[in-house]
Structure 1
Amino acid sequence: MVTITTEVATASRWDDVQHALTGGGDGASCQCIWPMLSNKDWDATTTPQRTEMLRDEIAAGPPPGLIAYVDGEAAGWIRIGPRTKQGRIPRTRMIASATTEPFDDESVWAVTCFVVRREHRGSGLNAELLRAAVDYARSSGARLIEGYPVDTGGEKKRTNDLFHGTLGTFIAAGFDVETEMKPGRTLVSLSL
Structure 2
Amino acid sequence: MSEIRIEEASADRFDDVEHALTGGGDGASCWCQWWMLRAKDFSAASRDERREMLRRDLEAPVPSALIAYVDDEPAGWVKVSARTDQPRLARTRNLQQSPQPFDDPSVWAITCFVVRREHRGGGVANRLLDAAVNHARTRGARIVEAYPIDTEATKASSNELFHGALSSFLDAGFTEVARPAPARPIVSPALA
TM range, smaller chain: over 0.9
Judge conservation of contact 2:36–2:88 (CA < 8 Å) in 1: yes
Judge conservation of contact 2:149–2:185 (CA < 8 Å) in 1: yes
Per-residue CA deviations over 1:109-141 (Å, capped at 9, x if unaligned) read 000000000111111111100100111111101
Map 1:109-120 to 2 at 5 A.
109-120=108-119
Per-residue CA deviations over 1:52-107 (Å, capped at 9, x if unaligned) read 000001013321100000001000000000000101100000101x1111111110
Structure 1 equivalent of residue 19 of structure 2:
19
RMSD: 1.2
Alignment partners' CA distance in 1, 2:154 and 2:50: 32
Structure 2 equivalent of residue 106 of structure 1:
105
Structure 2 equivalent of residue 190 of structure 1:
189
Paired amino acid for 2:33? I
Which consecutive residues of structure 2, in runs of 5 or more, have no partner in the other structure? none
Paired amino acid for 1:184? A
Map 1:147-158 to 2 at 5 A.
147-153=146-152, 157-158=156-157
Residues 150-159 or 35-44, more deviating: 150-159
Q: Are residues 186 and 154 of structure 1, via their aligned partners in 2, closer, same or farther at CA, if it must alter by over 3 Å?
A: closer
Alignment partners' CA distance in 1, 2:94 and 2:165: 17
- Deviation, structure 1 residue 191: 3.2
Structure 2 equivalent of residue 35 of structure 1:
35
Alignment partners' CA distance in 2, 1:34 and 1:128: 23
Q: Are residues 123 and 155 of structure 1, via their aligned partners in 2, closer, same or farther at CA, if it must alter by over 3 Å?
A: farther
Structure 2 equivalent of residue 58 of structure 1:
58
Structure 1 equivalent of residue 121 of structure 2:
122
Is 1:87 equivalent to 2:79 in the alignment? no
Is 1:163 equivalent to 2:177 in the alignment? no
Residues 80-89 or 155-164, more deviating: 155-164
Secondary structure of 2:163's partner? Answer: coil
Alignment partners' CA distance in 2, 1:20 and 1:122: 15
Identity among equivalent pairs (%): 54
Judge conservation of contact 2:67–2:74 (CA < 8 Å) in 1: yes
TM-score normalised by the chain length of structure 1 = 0.96
- Deviation, structure 1 residue 157: 2.7
Is 1:179 equivalent to 2:178 in the alignment? yes
Q: Are residues 147 and 11 of structure 1, via their aligned partners in 2, closer, same or farther at CA, if it must alter by over 3 Å?
A: same
Structure 2 equivalent of residue 8 of structure 1:
8
Judge conservation of contact 1:11–1:55 (CA < 8 Å) in 2: yes
Judge conservation of contact 1:146–1:189 (CA < 8 Å) in 2: yes
Judge conservation of contact 2:98–2:186 (CA < 8 Å) in 1: yes
Which consecutive residues of structure 1, in runs of 5 or more, have no partner in the other structure? none
TM-score normalised by the chain length of structure 2 = 0.96
Runs of 4+ in 1 over 3 A off after TM superposition: none
What is the total number of aligned residue pairs between the two structures?
191
Structure 1 equivalent of residue 131 of structure 2:
132
